[in-house]
């Protein structure tokens, strides 16, 4: 593995951990933030983290490739929230299930995902790829 790839992977892993921590903190302390900011910030950080997870497996792919797959996966994830069956609702009732699958469909979540994925592209282009 080349040194550039190694540093890129380390940067991506760090960004994933930071995004996950910020997303969780935004949910825990969301009540002290302006109205709904905690919820939307958490969704944006989920998209941000997913972008870099995809980036880990597509180091040589373009920003647009990663952005597209991030948005597609998150849109599909949001659409699955329209489906309710006992087995999936049981998963959603767990902490990790609620974080990953969500509970209720909301169009504004899609906007939050888009903003988070777009932020990830900007960070990737500006700070990670150009170093």
For the entire predicted model, the pTM comes to 0.86
Domain of residue 58: give its range.
Answer: 3-128
CA pair distance 52, 92, nearest whole angstrom: 24
CA pair distance 1, 9, nearest whole angstrom: 11
Element (H, E) at 21: helix 3-28
How many domains would you assign to the chain?
Answer: 1
- Residue pLDDT, tens place only, 34-71: 876 777 898 999 999 999 999 999 999 999 999 999 99
Q: What is the pLDDT of residue 104?
A: 86
Classify 106 in phi/psi space as left (phi over 0), alpha (psi -120 to 50) or beta.
Answer: beta
Element (H, E) at 116: helix 107-123
CA pair distance 43, 116, nearest whole angstrom: 7
């Amino acid at each position: 593995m080349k040194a550039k790839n190694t540093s890129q992977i380390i940067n991506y892993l760090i960004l994933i951990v930071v995004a996950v921590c910020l997303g969780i903190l935004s949910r825990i302390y969301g009540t002290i933030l302006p109205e709904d900011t905690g919820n939307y910030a958490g969704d944006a950080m989920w998209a941000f983290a997913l972008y870099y997870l995809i980036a880990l497996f597509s180091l040589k792919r373009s920003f647009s490739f990663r952005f597209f797959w991030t948005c597609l996966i998150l849109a599909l994830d949001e659409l699955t929230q329209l489906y309710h069956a006992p087995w999936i609702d049981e998963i959603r009732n767990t902490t990790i299930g609620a974080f990953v699958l969500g509970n209720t469909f909301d169009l504004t979540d899609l906007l939050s995902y888009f903003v988070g994925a777009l932020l990830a592209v900007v960070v990737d282009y500006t700070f990670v790829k150009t170093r």
